[in-house]
Amino acid sequence: MTGVRRRDLFAGAAGMALLPAAAVAAPSERPAATATARGFGAVGDGVADDSAALERVFAATLAGPNAQVVEIPPGRYRVTRPVRIRTANRGPGNVTHRSGVLAHGARIVSEITDGKPVIDIESRATLRFYLIDGLEIVGRGKEGHGISITCEKRGTYFYNFCLRDLVISGCGGDGLHLKGNVFEGQVFNSYFRDNRRNGATFAHGAEDTVLSAVHVFGCVFGGNGRHGGELADGAADVGFNGCYFLLNKRFGLSAPAGCTLLSHCGFENNHMAAPDFAHGDAGLRLMVQGTLVGCTAYSIYNQTHLVRAHVVNKLTMIGCTGSGGARAKGAGLARIGGRKRGMATLVGCHGSVRHENAVGLIELGGRNHGTRLGAKWDSSDLAWLGDYCLWVDAKGQLRMKRGAPRSDDDGKKVGT
């Protein structure tokens, strides 16, 4: 990966010119037909092997201009091998009208033992308006991901998608794995629990394919063997809104390249694999940059803070809290370090803050309901009043200068 951001690549008319005609054309006027999985041979009695039938179902939902909406009736669908679909290549494989599965009450029970995904969709075309609604997947720990959707060929796109009301548990890999040119889509009201790897992974892919503008609403990431969620391989443009991350073995969410937005999310009792509180860590691991609004953290076990951040660009936190009880009574809000050019701004947040390294830190209305600014003359977070800069020298004397100071004793002493 070269780190190319999709929003930079596609910005303005020049960016739109890079998209294939099928990607910017109006949706097809052909109505999406509705069929039933019974017509593809699915039984759903928990005894019959429905692997082949479900593969035909998903293939029908990805069949280019003839793609359908297929209803999977309530039932228990046993699979012994992956349900794997590769779309046709660009052109014949493009789906630009509504298609997908409606599966409320349908449970896929995996008996896969070779580490491969239960549902494995590989897009080699442009796919839009794809829906998976209401499906439950129960793994036994020997398969791979519950649902894997990849789009890693340059010039192919999986977007305007919706994954809704999913329950994916017990899988040997991630509950949900999205990778490549996957963007402008939503994951709603879904539950990713007790999977051996992550609850969900969002990742850039090969050939500079970029995951971006994905929004996750009201989902739960709990009890997973690694992280609740992970932004991997440089992915950062994912928003989490009203989500809950709890009881995961490591972080609730790991975002080593940053995270666009976390809004009203809760982090509780992550790092269950740690032996004790002293060896625990924060609910959220955040690198580079991010924005948190109204997020909370609470711990009685090993979670130490809401967020541990290494800030290179900007971190903004508004109205966030972090606390703990029992053996985690020392849990706090944030542990913030980073590079000198980085800046963290906390507004109306509550909980202890551990400030490390040279990163700038401004707290407004925080722990003491006042304002906390940097004091060292070369800090990036000094107070400015118009053109005048204020700092505290090594002897504890307040100083002021018009313009940036050049040394610790530059400027005039104030209050003497």
Q: Residue 321 corresponds to which tokens in the numbers above?
A: 């809290």
Q: Is the full-model pTM beyond 0.85?
A: yes
Q: Determine what percent of the chain is predicted with pLDDT higher than 70.
A: 89
Would the pLDDT of 5 be above 80?
no
387 occurs within a structural domain? yes
Distance, in Å, from the CA atom of 359 to the CA atom of 314, rounded to the nearest integer, reads 10
Q: Are residues 309 and 407 in the same domain?
A: no
* Poorest-pLDDT segment among 68-72, 115-119, 381-385: 381-385
* Assigned domain for 112 exists: yes
Residues 147-183 pLDDT 10s = 999 999 999 999 999 999 999 999 999 999 999 999 9
Are residues 119 and 259 part of one domain? no
* Domain shared by 363 and 380, yes or no: no
Does 387 lie in the same domain as 356? no
pLDDT of residue 295: 98
Q: How many domains does the chain have?
A: 3
Q: Where does residue 275 rank: exposed (0-12), middle (13-18), buried (19+ CB within 10 A)?
A: exposed
105 in the same domain as 217: yes
Residues 91 and 207 grouped into a single domain: yes
Task: Assess if residue 18 is contained within a domain.
Answer: no
State both tokens at 175.
């509950």
Task: Please give the structure tokens belonging to residue 58.
Answer: 């998903």
| CA angle (114, 178, 262) in 5-degree steps | 130
> The domain containing residue 39 runs over which residues?
34-231
Same-domain pairing of 165 and 270: no
158 and 104 fall within a common domain? yes
Residue 10 lies in a domain: no
Q: Name residues whose C-beta falls within 8 Å of residue 98's C-beta, 6 or more positions apart in sequence.
A: 32, 69, 129, 131
DSSP state of 196: S
Mean pLDDT of 374-385: 73
Closest by Cα among 96, 180, 1, 17 to 9: 17
* pLDDT confidence of residue 375: 66
Each residue's pLDDT tens digit, 390-407: 878 888 888 888 988 889
CA torsion angle for 35, 103, 139, 213 (degrees, to 10)? Answer: 100
